[in-house]
């Protein structure tokens, strides 16, 4: 398995900087059933078992869940951020979580997945950055 640790590290560093509109784009990618995504996850589960990467994948999943579930702001910021906006931010992060996990899995597994499966998992992330000037991990 050829991993892309730099791309995965860059991806993980980018997640906290995502804007609410970007989170909603990612969330929208999972509102409809996608047979290609289902097949990609079956291939990913097989690759994870074959590579003995269960613990690493669990760690990635935990990192994304922790980020998606954290409160929108620190207590010192509550006076500055209306509660409704903070809840909307947290809801957006949670909704984007599945697409972010898909991309993280694809980046972690690298060529242990065939190109079509990687593309199915990375699709929402790549579409998010299509047309953006700076390069982002996973392009």
**Residue 103 belongs to some domain of the structure:** yes
Is 137 within a domain? no
**Owning domain of residue 89:** 5-71+80-129
Q: Which DSSP helix (H) or strand (E) runs through 109? A: helix 83-109
pLDDT in tens, 4-43: 578 899 999 999 999 989 999 999 988 888 999 999 999 9
Three-state DSSP class for residue 42: helix
The answer as to whether 36 is a domain residue is yes
136 lies in a domain? no
Query: What are 74-83's pLDDT values in tens digits?
Result: 444 444 444 4
Residue 37 lies in a domain: yes
Residue 135 falls inside a structural domain: no
pLDDT, the chain, mean? 84
Per-residue pLDDT of 52-106, as tens digits, reads 999 999 999 999 999 988 876 544 444 444 444 555 778 889 999 999 999 999 9
Closest by Cα among 106, 96, 42 to 68: 96
Within a domain: 31: yes
**In this structure, is residue 134 part of a structural domain?**
no
Assess contact for 139 and 126: CB atoms under 8 A.
yes
Domain count, the chain: 1
């Amino acid at each position: 398995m050829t991993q892309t640790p730099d791309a995965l590290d860059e991806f993980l560093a980018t997640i906290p900087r995502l804007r609410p509109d970007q989170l909603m784009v990612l969330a929208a990618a999972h509102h409809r059933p996608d047979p290609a995504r289902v097949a990609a996850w079956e291939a990913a589960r097989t690759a994870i078992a074959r590579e003995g990467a269960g613990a690493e994948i669990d760690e990635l999943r935990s990192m994304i869940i922790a980020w998606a579930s954290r409160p929108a702001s620190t207590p010192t910021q509550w006076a500055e951020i209306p509660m409704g906006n903070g809840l909307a931010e947290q809801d957006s992060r949670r909704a984007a979580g599945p697409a972010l996990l898909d991309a993280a899995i694809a980046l972690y597994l690298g060529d242990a997945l065939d190109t079509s499966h990687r593309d199915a998992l990375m699709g929402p992330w790549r579409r998010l950055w299509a047309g953006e000037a700076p390069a982002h991990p996973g392009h």
